[in-house]
Structure 1
Amino acid sequence: MIEKVKVGENNILNQQYRGRLTEGITYNPSNNTILWVDIIKGEVHRLWLGTEDKHEMLKFEDAKESIGAIGLTSNDNVIIICGKYGVAEGNFIDKTIKYFLRYNHDDKQQRRLRSNDGAIDPWGHLWVGVMTDFDTSAAEGQVSAEGRLYRINCHDLTIETMVDGTFISNGLSFTGDGKALYWTDSLTHTIWQYDYSYITNTLSNKRPFVEVSKVFGVPGGVAPSATKPEPDGLALTRDNEVFSAMFHTGKVLRFDSRGQCTHEYELPAARITSVTVGGKNSDVLFVTTGHPALERPEATIDPTDKSGDLGGFIFALSLPEPINVLNKSIWGRKV
C-alpha cells in the first residue's frame, strides 16, 4: 500500500520568491540554511530557515551562463558551483562567482553542453553530469546522448569520465560507505545503481534500482498522471531509501531499499525537479519545481500569483517522523 500525501499552497517555503527552473535543493546542517539554484537564470539562493527575510543570492554576470549543481565546503559562506563551462567558487560574503576549473571541452562542446546535477562523494571528490544545453536541444528538438558523468578529483583537479553517452545525468548520491552509487539518467526513465571501488575508481555492476515507467504503469502503483514521467533529482538516506523528484508528474516518490514505492507526495506543480530532507530534526521534505512557462524567457514570473500550476516555488513539508538522513559530503579541497 502506497501512502499518499498532498502538498499545497500552504507548504510554499518563501511566499515572496518564485523562480524559473529551481533545482539542486541542499540543506546545510551547519547553519540551518537551505540552498538551491535557478538553472536558467544562473543563480544560487540561500535561505536561513526560520528567518525568511534573510534570503541571499549569487548570480553569474554572463547571460549565457547556467548553474546545474552546487556543493558545500568547509566554509559555510563558500560553495562550489557547477556552471556551464566548469566549476566555480561562490562566496556569499563578497557576492562573487569565480571559475577555478574549466571542462576539457572543445569549442563545439562548449557551445553544446552545460552542467546538470552533481554530488560530492564521501572522499570529497565532485561528480557532475554534463548534457545538451537548452538552446541546442530547443533548436534540434531533442536532448542527444552526448552527455557524460565526470569525477573531479579534489586534490589535483583532474577530470575523469565515469559514464559516457548519457542523456540527462540527474539525481545522484553515494551510500554512506561509498560502495554504491545511485544515479539517474532521466530519459532512460530509470534510477540506476552501481557498485563503486574507491581503490580503483571504477563503477561496475550497473543495474536498475527503479524503472519509473513500470512504477507508473503497474496496477496498484502510482496513477499515471503524465505521459513522460522522468526521474529528476533524488535524496538518499542512511537506510538506502530514495526520495525521487518525478518531472512532468507533480509527484515526489519515496522508495524503500528494494526499490518498492512506499510514499507518494503530490504537489500543485507538474515539474518536480529536486528533493532533500533537512531541518534541525531531519523531518522536513524540501522540494524544488519548474515554472510552467520556463521555456518562455519573456514570461512574467509572479510570486503573488497562486493560481494554477505553482511551479517555480520551493515547497517544505513537515514529515510525521525524522528521517535517517545522509548529510551531504563536503568538497575536499581547501577553500
Structure 2
Amino acid sequence: MPTVSVLSSHPCHLGEGPSWHPGRARAFWFDILDRKLLEMGLDDVAPRIHDLPFHATVAARVDDDRQLIASDAGLHLRSIDNGALSELRPFWDERPGTRSNDGAVHPSGALWISTMGWRFEPGFGRIWWYRAGELRPIVDGLTIPNAIAFSPDGRTAYFSDTLEHVIYRLPVDPATGAPTGDRRVFCRVSGGGPDGATVDADGLLWNARWGGHAIDAYDSDGHLVTTLALPARQVSCPAFVGPKLDRLLVTSAFEGYDEDTRAAEPEAGFTYLVDGPFRGLPPSAVLIG
C-alpha cells in the first residue's frame, strides 16, 4: 500500500517541473510564479532555495555538472555547483505574453518543451522539439500543454491539454524523439485536469490530476489502473526519485487561492513523497550539441 509523506513544507505558489539528478542524488523542482529553483536530497531536512531571474519550468540534466533550464527568458545552461547561468538561446515563442511550461527529455536526448499564454489563451499552447541546438514546433493549437512523457521504448510520446481534460498519444522516432504520425486521444480525465506526468519502467503513465487531490496511473491502452490520493487539491507534477527510482516526488500549488482557501488547505504548495511498489525509468540527458 503506497504511503504519502511531506518531503518539503515550503509552500510553492506554483510548484512544478520536478526532476531527479542521479549523479548528484538530488531532486530539483520550481516555484514558477515566485521564480525559485528548489534543490533537495531525500534525507535533507529542508530544500535549498535558489532565486532565479526568470520564470523557469524545466530543469533537464546535461551532465553531472550542468542543467538546461527552460524559462520565459529562453534556454540557459546552469552550473549546479554555483548556479551560474549562461544563455543558450533567447525565448523562442514569438507571440507576446507566452512562457514555457511543461517538458521532458526523450531517450534520444531530445527535449520536448511546451509554451502557453500567461492568460491561458485558447490555441496559444504549443510543444517544441529541441535537440543538439535545433528547435522547432511539433504540436500546435493547445491551451495548457502538460503531461509530456515517453514510453520506455521511446516510440510513444504523451501530452495533455489540461483544460480539455484529454491526454493524447503520438508516435515518435525512437532515434530522434521527433513525431512520425498524428496525435490520438489516449484517455479522457474527469474530476480535475491532467497536469504533469511521468512513465514508469512498466510503461504506466502517472499523471497529476490538477484540482483532483490525486495522481492517476494509466496502462499503455489508456485504462485507469490506480489512483493515489494526495492532501493537496492542486497537484501538479510527479517524478520518480531516489537511487532506485522507487519513490514518487509530487509537487503542488496554491495558485489562485485566497486567504480563506489557503487557511482551509494548509498543505497546498507542499512537495510530497510517495513510497510504493513502483520503479521509474532512469532520466535521460538532453543533447545540447
What's the TM-score once normalised by structure 2's chain length? 0.90
Cα offsets for 1:180-201 (capped at 9, x unmatched): 1111121221111111135694
**1:81 has 2:57 as partner:** no
**Residues 309 and 143 of structure 1, relative CA distance in 2, 3 Å threshold:** farther
Whether contact under 8 Å (2:252, 2:269) holds in the other structure is: yes
Please list the CA deviations of residues 40-85 of structure 1 after superposition, one character each: whole Å capped at 9, or x if unmatched: 11221110121235x3333223xxx31121111212x421111103
Q: Which amino acid aligns with 1:314?
A: T
Q: Which amino acid aligns with 2:256?
A: E
User: 2:270: which partner in 1?
Assistant: 313
Does structure 1 residue 72 correspond to structure 2 residue 61?
yes
Instruction: Report the counterpart of residue 85 of structure 2 in structure 1.
Output: 97
Q: Distance in 2 between matches of 1:116 and 1:309?
A: 25
Q: Is the 8 A contact 2:152 2:203 kept in 1?
A: no
| Distance (Å, rounded) in 1 between the aligned partners of 2:23 and 2:239 | 16
The equivalent residue for 1:27 is 20
SS at match of 1:13: strand
For the residues of structure 2 that align with 1:116 and 1:175, how far apart are their CA atoms? Answer: 21
* 8 A contact 1:58–1:96 mirrored in 2: no
Q: Does 1:153 align with 2:131?
A: yes
In structure 1, the partner of 2:179 is 202
Q: How do 1:226-265 residues align onto structure 2 when only pairs under 5 Å count?
A: 229-265=192-228
Q: Is the 8 A contact 1:150 1:159 kept in 2?
A: yes
Q: How many residues align?
A: 287
Q: Which residue number corresponds to residue 100 of structure 2?
A: 115
Provide the rounded CA distance (Å) in 1 between the counterparts of 2:180 and 2:161: 15
State the superposition RMSD in angstroms.
2.4
SS in structure 2 of the partner of residue 202 of structure 1: coil
Deviations 1:252-280 (A, max 9, x none): 11122222222211111110100122222
Q: Distance in 1 between matches of 2:130 and 2:24?
A: 26
Post-superposition CA distance 1:135-169 (Å, at most 9, x none): xx1xxxx5321121111122xx2221101111111
Instruction: Name the one with the larger strand percent.
Output: 2
Please list, as runs of the form range in 1=range in 2, the aligned pairs for 1:272-287 lying within 5 A after superposition.
272-287=235-250
Following superposition of structure 1 onto structure 2, how do residues 113-152 of structure 1 map, counting pairs within 5 Å?
113-133=98-118, 137=119, 142-152=120-130
Cα gap change, 1:211/1:200 in structure 2, threshold over 3 Å: closer, same or farther?
A: closer
Helix, strand or coil at the partner of 1:170: strand
Deviation, 1:122, is 1.4
Q: CA-to-partner distance for each residue in 1:215-237, whole Å, 9 max, x for gaps?
A: xxxxxxxxx4xxxx100000102
How high is the TM-score relative to the length of structure 1?
0.78
Measure how far apart 1:283 and its partner are. Answer: 2.4
Greater gyration radius: 1
Report whether the alignment pairs 1:60 with 2:38: no
Task: Name stretches of at least 5 consecutive residues in structure 1 with no aligned partner.
Answer: 214-223
Using the aligned pairs only, state the percent identity: 22
2:288 aligned partner = 333
Contact residue 213 and residue 232 of structure 2 kept, 8 A: yes
* Unpaired stretches in structure 2, ≥5 consecutive residues: none
What CA distance in whole angstroms lies between the structure 1 residues aligned with 2:157 and 2:177? 15
Q: Does 1:295 align with 2:256?
A: yes
Letter of the 1:204 counterpart = G
Q: Which amino acid aligns with 1:161?
A: P
Return the alpha-carbon distance in structure 1 between the equivalents of residues 269 and 217 of structure 2: 22
Q: CA deviation at 1:309?
A: 4.2
Structure 2 Cα separation of the partners of residues 20 and 200 of structure 1? 32
Matched, 1:167 2:134: no
CA distance in 2, matches of 1:123, 1:281: 22
CA contact (8 A) 1:78 1:90 kept: yes
